[in-house]
Amino acid sequence: MSKQEPKPEHLIEAVLLVSATPISPPHLSSATGLSKEEMGAALENLTERYAPETSGIVLRNVAGGYQLSTNPGCSGAVERFREEARAAPLSNAAHEVLACALYLGPVTRGAISRVRGVNSDAVVRNLLERGLLSEVGADHEAPGSPALLSVTDEFLAATGSSSTDEFPPLGSLVTPEELSRVHERLTSAATPPEDSGDTP
Amino acid sequence: MTFEPRGRSLSDFTVELDVYSGPYEWLLALILKDELEIFEIPLRKLVESYMGARERDPTNGLERDTDFAGSASALVLLKSRTLSPAIDAETEGDEDEPHSPEELAQRLTEYLKIRRAAEQLRERFAANAGYYPSAHTVPPRPGRLRVKPERVSLAARRAFSRLIEPPVRHLGPITVTLQELAGMIRTVLATGPISYEILTRDMDRLNTAVAFAAALSLAQEGSLTLVQTEPLGPLTLEPTA
């Protein structure tokens, strides 16, 4: 039996199989020796082959790269086999801190606390331990050069996003009507009631 | 939220909340370890439920009430501290505090947007929770394979160079061996048990130490038994039956 040359799909499959993290297209191209066109065609074929409807393994385009993962429909079997429960969902506070880092980042802990109105250090620490946040630098203009926080590739993979550009703009999340209602309530609450003459 | 009958203080007090279900004491532990956010615990519901459970089972009521009041007031303090505005050195003097309704509206607007973004993130996290990537982990990379010849020759010189012999003139000659003293102990034990003090009475420190090692060795192989009725007490060597 003659040894056959592996197809581009086979090369990409093999490399993706042995990586626990998403692989960027340039990195994938470098490892497989495939051209950009060959990669594109092969990835298209693999996306069809590893569609959730046809396979227990799915090809995901997350965190700026490609990754083979289990089909979420099979997650129960995977969790039973690995004898581990799915990680507990994040708290509301954790989602707010991540939203701050995603939309306003890189931000300091102090900036996150100011936006939320409460101290967020414990939540930030928890998210750093989970790998969803990371320190990407320091704000040298602020006293003490506090660390700047940003979301990580693990965050993008956990949210099924290829990049931060996939998230809707912050301004589009609240309608102008809601904003005007907030403004109206606050300004009307601050306006002193007219003197009715009943006060002693 | 229930009390198990005949429980000790709050150890049997179980809690059922949206964010947690289980023993009350574990709830406190989880909050202290930052595993649970204090501001997600509805303290009012906690107190109301406790009052309901207390009425059903008044056993050790005073002790339980005292314990609960102590821990619940600590939770209230912790929650109020957590919810109070963050103190920042940059904003000392309340410079960052909104002064006008317009500023406050702007701050609230910003928070409202973040709040909505957080809700969207929650949905995205939930929708992507069942993906498990390959468990393969890449082994650590080997070190640099290219080594300069100078470094190789230096390492070889160090490896093959003769070490300077340490001075040993201050050490006395070794005059006794473990085998010799083991033979001597066997001979003595042929006549019966003997105390370690009598055995080593005329020996110097080296011989005394080696005799002890020999006795331990013989005890380990079962030729004798070491008897010591109390710690640091007299040690007796007895021949085994």
Three-state secondary structure readout of chain A: CCCCCCCHHHHHHHHHHCCCCCECHHHHHHHHCCCHHHHHHHHHHHHHHCCCCCCCEEEEEECCEEEEEECHHHHHHHHHHHCCCCCCCCCHHHHHHHHHHHHHCCECHHHHHHHHCCCCHHHHHHHHHHCCEEEEEECCCCCCCCEEEEECHHHHHHCCCCCHHHCCCHHHHCCHHHHHHHHHHHHHHHCCCCCCCCCC
Domains in chain A, please, with CATH?
8-79 (1.10.10.10), 92-187 (1.10.10.10)
Residue the block writes with tokens 């909104």:
B98
In this prediction, the answer to ipTM > 0.90 reads no
Q: At what angle do helices A25-32 and A8-17 cross, to 10 degrees?
A: 110
In a domain, B39, yes or no: yes
- Report in angstroms the alpha-carbon separations of B176 from B171, B198, B210, B211: 14, 19, 8, 10
Predicted local distance difference test score (pLDDT) of residue B95: 52
Please provide residue A61's backbone torsions phi and psi, each rounded to the nearest 5 degrees. -110, 90
Within 8 A of B126 by CB-CB distance, chain A residues are 89
**How far B89 CA sits from the closest chain A CA (Å)?**
8
Residue of B nearest to A85 (CA): B130
Q: Which chain A residues touch B109 with a CB distance below 8 Å?
A: 174, 179, 182-183
Domain's final residue, options B83, B99, B123? B83
Contacts of A114 in chain B (CB under 8 A): 86, 88, 91, 96
What phi-psi label fits residue B209: left (phi over 0), alpha (psi between -120 and 50 degrees) or beta?
alpha
Any domain includes B208: yes
Range of the domain at B189: 178-239
Residues in chain B, overall count? 241
Residue B69 is assigned to a structural domain of this protein: yes
pLDDT band at B4 (very low <50, low <70, confident <90, very high): very low
User: Is B136 at the interface with chain A, CB within 8 A?
Assistant: yes
**Of the candidates B63, B83, B103, which is a domain's last residue?**
B83
Residue B31 lies in a domain: yes
pTM for the predicted model, two decimal places: 0.53
Residues 91-110 of chain B with CB under 8 A from chain A are 91, 96, 100-102, 104-105, 107-110
Domain membership flag for residue B124? no
Predicted pLDDT at A38: 92
Q: What is the CATH number of the domain that holds B218?
A: 1.10.10.580
Interval B73-123: pLDDT, tens = 888 888 877 776 555 444 444 555 656 667 777 788 888 889 899 999 999
How many domains does the structure of chain B reveal? Answer: 2
B76 occurs within a structural domain: yes
d(CA B166, CA B92): 66
When pLDDT is averaged across residues B33-41 and rounded to a whole number, the result is 75
Which of the listed residues B55, B83, B111 is the one where a domain comes to its end?
A: B83
Q: Give the pLDDT of residue A24.
A: 92
CB-nearest partner of A96 from B86, B118, B134: B118
Cα separation of B163 and B157, whole Å? Answer: 11
Residue A37: pLDDT over 60: yes
Indicate whether B207 belongs to any domain. yes
Cβ atoms of A148 and A139 within 8 Å: the answer is: yes
CB contact under 8 A, B108 and A96: no
Cβ atoms B226, B236 nearer than 8 A: yes
| CA distances, B50 to each of B3, B207, B215 (Å) | 9, 74, 67
Distance CA B52, CA A72 (A): 42
Q: Which residues of A touch B119 (CB under 8 A)?
A: 95
For the stretch B123-155, pLDDT in tens is: 999 988 888 887 666 555 555 566 778 778 878
Asked whether residue B167 is assigned to any structural domain, the reply reads no
